[in-house]
């Protein structure tokens, strides 16, 4: 956009706008106004173009694929032997009847039941401790607890994977030294704990910062009043701080649930280290498996759409609940 030199008469017309309100609706259109009117669309153009190209169109394509299937004519050789034909909701019926996918969703929920309360509980405790006026080494601890955020999930999982391996792990070394039983961290239920620990390690710091930021926005006078009334730090934390940061907790919970449904990195990273992990352990792994290993992009698309819909339904339910909760809180 080029800037046209303004003439004196234009300035006079712009005059009434200079009161700072910006969007006076009754103002006669003047040239800078008119120019300014298209500006937001220009500024939004790159965002919207990318959004269309890499979000809207792929989703549309996935939905289209999910409603189709390949029909092979003859022996399936030559041009036109494979045609994409309408399949209605056939793929969706397959998804819902597919116990493998159902099991992967259940596993993700089981994993989430361990990760989310542990991670958010720790994040809240750390944030409250950071906010305690007389805690020592708080800034050091804040940085260290946040540090895992800088470590790629796959590398975090690789590092923990080694720490779970009896041959190289210091924990097994100590267990061995003291003659304690040595659990197999790659087996059965322990697998969930092993994954959960990696996610907790990687995610606590970020959530702690979100909650801590909310805590610091509370005016200090509230605490002074409570202290004069004789409240202990613990009582202040339980009765004042936690209710006030509840919206942040709801937000972090919300994002944790979405992340849980999409667990992929941790099981993928540990897969090479053990034979106990099927390639459809989590929903995302199941989708990847059917799209690229079984080459069924139609079924995979239907599965992906189901997962997306489930995420949306879950999100809106959670937002509805939290909305009602925070509104009651305000009343």
Partner 1 sequence: MTPLTLTADATGPSRARRTAWVPTLVLILGALYCLVPIAWVIIAATKDRSELFSTFSFAPGTGLLQNLSDLTAYRDGIYWQWMANSAFYAGFGALLSAAVSAAGGYALGRYSFRGREAVFKLILAGVLVPGIVLAVPQYLLLSKMGLADSYWSMLLPSILSPYGVYLVRIYAAASVPTELMEAARMDGASEWRIFSRIAVPMMMPGLITVFLFQFVGIWNNFLLPYVMLADDTKFPITLGLYTLLAQGASQPALYTLVITGCLLAILPLIALFLVIQRFWSLDLLSGSIKS
| 141 Cβ neighbours under 8 A, 6+ residues apart | 126, 130
Within 129-148, which residues bind partner 1 (CB under 8 A)? 129-130, 132-138, 140-148
Residue with tokens 């959530």: 207
Q: Taking the complex as a whole, how short is the minimal distance between the CB of residue 188 and partner 1, in angstroms? A: 20
Radius of gyration of the chain (CA): 28
By C-beta, is 20 or 74 nearer to partner 1? 20
Q: How many angstroms separate the CA atoms of 138 and 127, rounded? A: 10
By C-beta, is 226 or 246 nearer to partner 1? 226
Q: How many angstroms separate the CA atoms of 211 and 242, rounded? A: 10
Alpha-carbon 69 to chain mean position: 31
Q: Taking the complex as a whole, how short is the minimal distance between the CB of residue 225 and partner 1, in angstroms? A: 6
Within 153-182, which residues bind partner 1 (CB under 8 A)? 153-156, 158-163, 167-170, 173
Q: Taking the complex as a whole, how short is the minimal distance between the CB of residue 75 and partner 1, in angstroms? A: 25
Within 55-84, which residues bind partner 1 (CB under 8 A)? 55, 57-59, 61-62, 65
Q: Taking the complex as a whole, how short is the minimal distance between the CB of residue 192 and partner 1, in angstroms? A: 19
Total residues binding partner 1 (CB under 8 A): 126
| 3-class secondary structure, 39 | helix
Q: Does 216 bind partner 1 (CB under 8 A)?
A: yes
By C-beta, is 147 or 321 nearer to partner 1? 147
Return the residue of 73, 82, 272, 294 that touches partner 1, per CB under 8 A.
Answer: 272
Contact assessment for residue 260 and residue 112, using Cβ atoms and an 8 Å cutoff: yes
Q: What share of the chain is helix, strand, coil (3-state, %, to 5)?
A: 75, 5, 25
Q: Taking the complex as a whole, how short is the minimal distance between the CB of residue 11 and partner 1, in angstroms? A: 7
Check residue 272 and report its DSSP letter. G
Contact assessment for residue 146 and residue 205, using Cβ atoms and an 8 Å cutoff: yes
Segment near partner 1 (CB under 8 A); pick from 5-13, 103-111, 183-191, 322-330? 5-13
| 3-class secondary structure, 68 | strand
Tell me phi and psi for residue 24, to 5 degrees.
Answer: -80, 115
Q: Does 28 bind partner 1 (CB under 8 A)?
A: no
Segment near partner 1 (CB under 8 A); pick from 74-82, 98-106, 118-126, 321-329? 118-126
Return the residue of 112, 205, 267, 299 that touches partner 1, per CB under 8 A.
Answer: 205
Within 232-261, which residues bind partner 1 (CB under 8 A)? 232-233, 235, 239, 248, 258, 261
By C-beta, is 195 or 201 nearer to partner 1? 201
Q: How many angstroms separate the CA atoms of 144 and 129, rounded? A: 14
One DSSP character per residue, 122-139 reads: HHHHHHHHHTSTT-TTHH
Q: Does 95 bind partner 1 (CB under 8 A)?
A: no
H or E element: which one contains 292?
none
Segment near partner 1 (CB under 8 A); pick from 88-96, 97-105, 187-195, 210-218? 210-218
Closest CA to 121 of 266, 252, 213, 243: 252
Return the residue of 9, 11, 72, 117 that touches partner 1, per CB under 8 A.
Answer: 11
Return the residue of 36, 76, 88, 243 that touches partner 1, per CB under 8 A.
Answer: 36
Residue with tokens 């003047």: 30
């Amino acid at each position: 956009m080029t800037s046209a030199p303004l003439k004196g008469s234009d300035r006079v017309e712009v005059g009434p706008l200079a009161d700072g309100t910006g969007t006076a609706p009754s103002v006669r259109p003047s040239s800078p106004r008119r120019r300014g009117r298209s500006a937001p669309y220009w500024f939004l153009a790159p965002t919207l173009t990318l959004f269309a190209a890499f979000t809207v169109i792929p989703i549309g394509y996935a939905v289209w694929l999910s409603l189709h299937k390949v029909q092979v004519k003859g022996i399936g050789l030559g041009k036109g032997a494979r045609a994409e034909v309408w399949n209605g909701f056939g793929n969706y019926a397959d998804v819902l009847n597919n116990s493998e996918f159902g099991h992967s969703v259940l596993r993700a929920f089981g994993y989430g039941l361990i990760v989310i309360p542990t991670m958010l509980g720790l994040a809240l405790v750390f944030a409250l401790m950071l906010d305690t006026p007389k805690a020592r080494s708080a800034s050091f601890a804040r940085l260290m607890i946040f540090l895992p955020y800088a470590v790629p999930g796959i590398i975090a999982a690789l590092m923990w994977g080694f720490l779970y391996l009896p041959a190289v792990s210091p924990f097994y070394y100590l267990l061995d030294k003291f003659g304690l039983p040595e659990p197999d961290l790659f087996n059965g239920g322990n697998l969930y704990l092993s994954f959960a620990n990696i996610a907790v390690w990687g995610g606590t710091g970020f959530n702690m910062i979100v909650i801590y930021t909310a805590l610091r926005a509370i005016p200090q006078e509230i605490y002074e009043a409570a202290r004069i009334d004789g409240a202990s730090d613990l009582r202040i934390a339980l009765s004042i701080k936690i209710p006030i940061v509840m919206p942040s907790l709801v937000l972090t919970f919300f994002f944790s649930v979405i992340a849980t449904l999409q667990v992929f990195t941790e099981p993928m990273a540990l897969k090479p280290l053990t034979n106990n992990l099927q390639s459809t352990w989590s929903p995302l792994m199941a989708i990847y498996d059917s799209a690229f290993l079984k080459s069924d992009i139609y079924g995979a698309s239907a599965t992906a759409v189901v997962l997306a819909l489930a995420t949306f339904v879950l999100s809106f339910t959670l937002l509805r609940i939290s909305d009602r909760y925070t509104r009651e809180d305000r009343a």
